[in-house]
Amino acid sequence: MRRRDFLTQVALSGGALLGARELLAQQAAAPAEPAPAQGTTSNLFDMDQMAAKRVTKPPKRDAAPSMTADERDNLEHQLRCQCSCTLDVYTCRTTDFSCQVSPAMHQDVMALVEGGYSAHEIIEAFVGTYGERVLMAPKREGFNWAGYIVPFAALGAGTVAVVAVLRGMQRRTALVAATTRRPSAAGPLASDEELTKLRAALRRDD
């Protein structure tokens, strides 16, 4: 592409972007449609404020808190808020104060921690109540292993395929080189002087 064409295209693209931005700004300034009923939706998704279910267990005998606040926060990073926000419980309750689901789930986590339950036991209790969808990532068991392994298996298969193709190309190149070097073949493809010029031209183009 010539430099003038390139610069023209860059200028046109920039102009189009600015125009699109102006259009979006005008749309944003236009009167919004009436809002749905408060408390059932957010700006981005349908919010289900009634999605919280109680996850309770009786405290263990002589129960003491089973983890520190940091460990509890890490545990809440593994549990998904059920208000449809797609965030984990910790992030949702510390970001979106309008959500009533993540604070309720947080209260249940706190009660179980106070009751002496371990992280594994708390996660199992939540899975027992909500199902596996309460976890931010699928458990590493059974069919779920496919989720974790398939991308790496695909990469391995792709590597094998690429190596096979390269080997085939290498064999064909070697065969052609061997045959063209034979005295009975059509002779050299270029003179020494031409090859020198070609190499110099390639060096400049690198």
Partner 1 sequence: MVSREAAFLYNNLVLVAIAFSVLWGTLFPILSEWVRGSKITVGPPFFNTVNVPLGLLLLGLTGVGPLIAWRKASTSNLRRQFAFPVTFGLAMGALLIVLGMRNFYALVAYTLAAFVAGTISQEFYKGIRARHTMHDESIPVAAIRLVARNRRRYGGYIVHAGIVILFCGFAGLAFKKDHDVQMKAGEVKELVDPLGHRWRFVSQGVSTSETLNRFVTAIGLEVWRDGVRQGIMTTEKRQYFDSNKQPQFEPSTEVGIRTSAKMDLYIVLAGVRDETAELRISFNPLVVWVWIGGMVMAVGGLIVMWPQAERRRSGGYVATLAPAPRAELVAAP
99-128 residues in contact with partner 1 (CB under 8 A) are none
Instruction: Pick the piece of the chain touching partner 1 (CB under 8 A) from 15-23, 57-65, 108-116, 144-152.
Output: 144-152
Q: Does 135 bind partner 1 (CB under 8 A)?
A: yes
Q: Return left, alpha or beta for 182; rule: phi > 0 is left, psi -120 to 50 is alpha, else beta.
A: beta
Least distance between partner 1 and beta carbon 1 (Å):
5
How would DSSP label each residue in 179-193? HHTSTTSS--SS-HH
Least distance between partner 1 and beta carbon 143 (Å):
6
Which residue in this structure is represented by tokens 């052609």? 176
Q: Which of 25, 27, 32, 58 binds partner 1 (CB under 8 A)?
A: 32
* Distance between CA atoms of residues 53 and 117, nearest Å: 19
Instruction: Pick the piece of the chain touching partner 1 (CB under 8 A) from 22-30, 53-61, 114-122, 136-144.
Output: 136-144
**Closest to 139 in 3D by CA, of 153, 128, 155:** 128
Least distance between partner 1 and beta carbon 30 (Å):
13
Q: Which of 55, 80, 113, 125 binds partner 1 (CB under 8 A)?
A: 80
Q: Does 183 bind partner 1 (CB under 8 A)?
A: no
Q: Does 148 bind partner 1 (CB under 8 A)?
A: yes
Instruction: Pick the piece of the chain touching partner 1 (CB under 8 A) from 50-58, 60-68, 109-117, 164-172.
Output: 164-172
Least distance between partner 1 and beta carbon 80 (Å):
5
Residue type present at position 102: S
Q: Which of 61, 182, 192, 193 binds partner 1 (CB under 8 A)?
A: 182
Which phi and psi angles does 178 have, rounded to 5°?
-65, -40
Instruction: Pick the piece of the chain touching partner 1 (CB under 8 A) from 21-29, 60-68, 116-124, 154-162.
Output: 154-162
Query: 66 with 113: CB under 8 angstroms?
Result: yes
* Distance between CA atoms of residues 98 and 85, nearest Å: 11
Beta-bridged to residue 46, according to DSSP, are: 41
Task: Kindly report each contact of residues 137-140 with a partner whose C-beta sits within 8 Å and lies 24 or more positions away, as own/partner.
Answer: 137/78
